[in-house]
Amino acid sequence: MASALTAAERGHTVTLFDAAGEIGGQFNLARRIPGKEEFAETLRYFRTRLAQLGVKIELNRRVGAAELRDFDHVILATGIVPRTPSIPGIDHDKVASYVDIVEGRKVAGRRVAIIGAGGIGFDVAEFLTDADAPDGHASDGRADDPAIAAFRDEWGIDVELTKRGGLRPPHENPPPRQLWLLQRKTEKVGAGLAKTTGWIRRTLLKRRGVSMLSGAEYEKIDDSGLHLKVDGEPLLLDVDTIVICAGQEPRRELVADLEAAGIKAKLIGGADVAVELDAKRAIDQGTRVALEL
């Protein structure tokens, strides 16, 4: 979106293809996470600007090298593929990817284990313990959205400013599920989160009774749940759903096709570096690449 916009601003004729039925990629997942509703506003900005600049948008088009042959420049922003860890039983019905859960294709049960406690693991934990939207909500990002009102209630934010400091007692509803947030690393869960906001996210999950375990070694998944070892001690989590948030790999299947067809392409965003979730880096890189065309 950022590349298309900048290229169009500079006078290029731009076509933006997306395999999905809407533009935005992972922003369409991020905007569903309670507290991240503003991602919907970024999407609104891009949709408006791309329309103003006359960028041709082709949705539901998973393109291959053949469709890209006639363009002077090709920019590949194909994003990522969620990583699937090799745990025996990973194909069990109890297992769901974070994409299925956040998009609502699968509804998590009452007891849930999340494998992977990075940024997405935390997002999914917040999403699944949100008492006001137990199966998630797609916010439209507007100030009168009930999800935003619920967020203010939970944190005791008084927007009327009738209370001292704009703070009133937080209102806590019991979380709709019991959750375990697990990581293989032995460091404290959430240690890698952003410095200024990580403590808020850990506090929120603690208040919602989420058990955070580090040093987990996953043994297998079966009808009785998730079998693991923590600090060498065997543990069975009798859960209904196991959500995989175990990182991402760049989605690059088009690269080889393009090379074989002799088409040069620039790789940006998650398709370039998938180890971190960083929309700012993706937008910055997309903009700079378009400035160089």
Ligand X SMILES: Cc1cc2nc3c(=O)[nH]c(=O)nc-3n(C[C@H](O)[C@H](O)[C@H](O)COP(=O)(O)OP(=O)(O)OC[C@H]3O[C@@H](n4cnc5c(N)ncnc54)[C@H](O)[C@@H]3O)c2cc1C
The two tokens of residue 47 are: 């949709």
Alpha carbon distance 249, 251 (integer Å): 6
What is the closest distance, in whole angstroms, from the C-beta atom of residue 49 to ligand X in the complex? Answer: 16
What is the closest distance, in whole angstroms, from the C-beta atom of residue 285 to ligand X in the complex? Answer: 9
C-beta closer to ligand X: residue 53 or 277: 277
C-beta closer to ligand X: residue 6 or 227: 6
Using the rule CB under 6 A, give the single segment among 55-63, 158-166, 203-211, 214-222 that binds ligand X.
Answer: 55-63
What is the closest distance, in whole angstroms, from the C-beta atom of residue 165 to ligand X in the complex? Answer: 27
Positive or negative, the CA dihedral 232, 234, 235, 240 is positive
C-beta closer to ligand X: residue 30 or 125: 30
The answer to whether 218 contacts ligand X (rule: CB under 6 A) is no
The answer to whether 63 contacts ligand X (rule: CB under 6 A) is yes
Q: What is the CA radius of gyration of the chain?
A: 21
At what angle are helices 198-207 and 119-128 packed, to 10 degrees? 30
Q: β-pairing, 178-182 with 56-58?
A: unpaired
| Region 27-46 residues binding ligand X, contact defined as CB under 6 A | 27, 29-30, 33, 36
| Region 121-180 residues binding ligand X, contact defined as CB under 6 A | 123
The answer to whether 257 contacts ligand X (rule: CB under 6 A) is no
Q: Which of 4, 6, 8, 26 binds ligand X (CB under 6 A)?
A: 26
The answer to whether 78 contacts ligand X (rule: CB under 6 A) is yes
- Which residues are at the interface with ligand X (CB under 6 A)? 17-20, 25-27, 29-30, 33, 36, 61-63, 77-80, 102, 120, 123, 251, 254, 269-271, 277-280, 282
